[in-house]
Amino acid sequence: MEKEYEEYLEELKSWLEETRDTKLESMDQFFEERVETYDEHMESWDKYYKVMGKLIPKNTKELLDIGCGTGLELEEIFKHLPAIRVTGIDLAKSMLDKLENKYKDKNTELICGDYFTTEFGEGCFDTAISFQTLHHFRPEKKIEVFRKLYSSLKNGGCYIECDYIARTQEIEDLLFLESDIRREKEKLSEEYFVHFDTPLTLEHEIELIKKAGFEKVEFFNEGEDKNTVLIVAWK
């Protein structure tokens, strides 16, 4: 395990060094330019879509999906709960257009916007989800969203997250340092969203979720992927 981790860490450091001169892309631009290939690119996450679909409580009638993209995670959810009503939020209009075209016969409300500033409402949803979207942000930004998600859920509701995690504190620190270096080089403020991964450790992620108010938090790891986790948090 130690050897495998050291190899992974060296590969990560090499990649960061090799790409250091690559210009950071804004979040919306990154996804707008990749909308045609996005679904194919995300096929490797199929097992996580299936697990998330099964984790959605059967009594869910109202679902909030932040950073919903083209709605790949919704396919499995609709298999289990075809009558569910979904509110989806995403920065990329072209992604939402593709989602809408996929699920024309489903009950969806799609919002093109920033989920940090978009209002979720109070006690509106039975379940909220996010899939591979929050690993680009600092803890102080993430807890804002976790608190909003908590408030948006009905009592007894849950939040389900599938996301990257940093295997160790060393990796978390390394990626945030690299992000700082690149932002400083390009004179970009933290309020300017860029597509650069800064995942937290699982311990740090769960700590923030609990700090936001969630009482019970569980996590699942599928197979041998040590960089991805599913988290279920209950209100």
pLDDT at residue number 224: 65
205 contacts 192 by C-beta, under 8 angstroms: no
pLDDT at residue number 15: 95
Q: Is 71 left (phi over 0), alpha (psi -120 to 50) or beta?
A: left
How far, CA to CA in Å, does 222 sit from each of 46, 118, 160? 11, 32, 15
127 contacts 66 by C-beta, under 8 angstroms: no
pLDDT at residue number 108: 97
Residue 104 DSSP code? T
pLDDT at residue number 222: 60
pLDDT at residue number 183: 96
Tell me the domains of the chain and their CATH numbers.
Answer: 24-234 (3.40.50.150)
Residue 68 DSSP code? -
Closest CA to 206 of 196, 225, 219: 219
pLDDT at residue number 220: 85
Number of CB atoms found within 10 A of residue 147's CB: 16
pLDDT at residue number 127: 98
Distance in angstroms (rounded) separating the CA atoms of residues 85 and 108: 6
pLDDT at residue number 223: 57
- Which strands sit side by side in the sheet containing 62-66, from one edge to the other? 107-112, 85-90, 62-66, 125-131, 153-164, 228-234, 216-220
pLDDT at residue number 39: 87
Closest CA to 153 of 177, 129, 124, 173: 124
Average pLDDT along the chain, 235 residues, taken 10 residues at a time: 86 95 92 89 90 96 97 96 97 95 96 96 97 96 97 98 96 96 94 94 97 95 79 98
Number of CB atoms found within 10 A of residue 150's CB: 19
Distance in angstroms (rounded) separating the CA atoms of residues 194 and 22: 12
